[in-house]
Structure 1
């Protein structure tokens, strides 16, 4: 793995709480997926650019790495622990509270 891909993986792992700030509990699943994909594009572009590897294949690989790591981190750590849902609820304009940790 290149430095850019490793940075995309690290930032992807730390991204679910940041994404949860933007997302709202009332958002439909597809909209939440779009928000995550847009964030992964930003992470991929940024890591490729700041590591001097701003070319087609490197950008694509960084974006795909970010998508994969964000999804795995969210479903294995951030959602089951209840951290991401609590952040969503706390930053929600509707004020709906999560029901606690959810099973995977």
Structure 2
């Protein structure tokens, strides 16, 4: 099966989205909530890439969403989490972590 331009864009964008997702994720959230956020981002990625590639049809939209979800998951578990980048971003942007006072 040959991938369309929209599906390739969905995969490429999905590969770099985990750090963006980590900005919103909070370390105290359950895995289910984090997974749901990832799926919402994958849906938006799929819709956007299909639309901007003028391939906004049923099959292409669904394959773009699935391609984005797989790319996000694989990239997170093979690159962004093991490197510590995504967890570090989550911790740095957490609303519950104490931040040092300015000048301290």
Q: TM-score, normalised by structure 2?
A: 0.91
The CA RMSD over aligned residues, in Å, is 0.8
For the residue of structure 1 that corresponds to 2:17, the secondary structure is helix
Higher relative contact order (CA 8 A, sep 6+): 2
String of CA shifts for 1:70-97, please: whole Å, max 9, x gaps. 000000000000000000001100117x
TM-score (norm 1): 0.91
Query: What are the ranges of 5 or more consecutive residues in structure 1 without an aligned counterpart?
Result: 97-104
- Structure 1: how far apart are the matches of 2:97 and 2:22? 14
Q: Counterpart of 2:5?
A: 3
Structure 2 Cα separation of the partners of residues 19 and 12 of structure 1? 10
Runs of 4+ that moved beyond 2 A: none
Corresponding residue for 1:73? 75
Provide the aligned length of Structure 1 versus Structure 2. 96
TM-fit CA distance, 1:49 = 0.1
Query: What is the CA-CA distance between 1:10 and the residue it aligns to?
Result: 0.5
For 1:65 and 1:33, locate their aligned partners in 2 and report how far apart those are by CA, in whole Å: 16
The equivalent of 2:35 in structure 1 is: 33
Which ranges in structure 2 are unaligned for 5 or more consecutive residues?
99-104
Q: Using the alignment, how far apart are the partners of 2:97 and 2:47 within structure 1?
A: 33
* Superposition pairs of residues 1-104 of structure 1, within 5 angstroms: 1-95=3-97
1:22-76 C-alpha deviation (Å, 9 max, x unpaired): 1000000000000000000000000000000000000000000000010000000
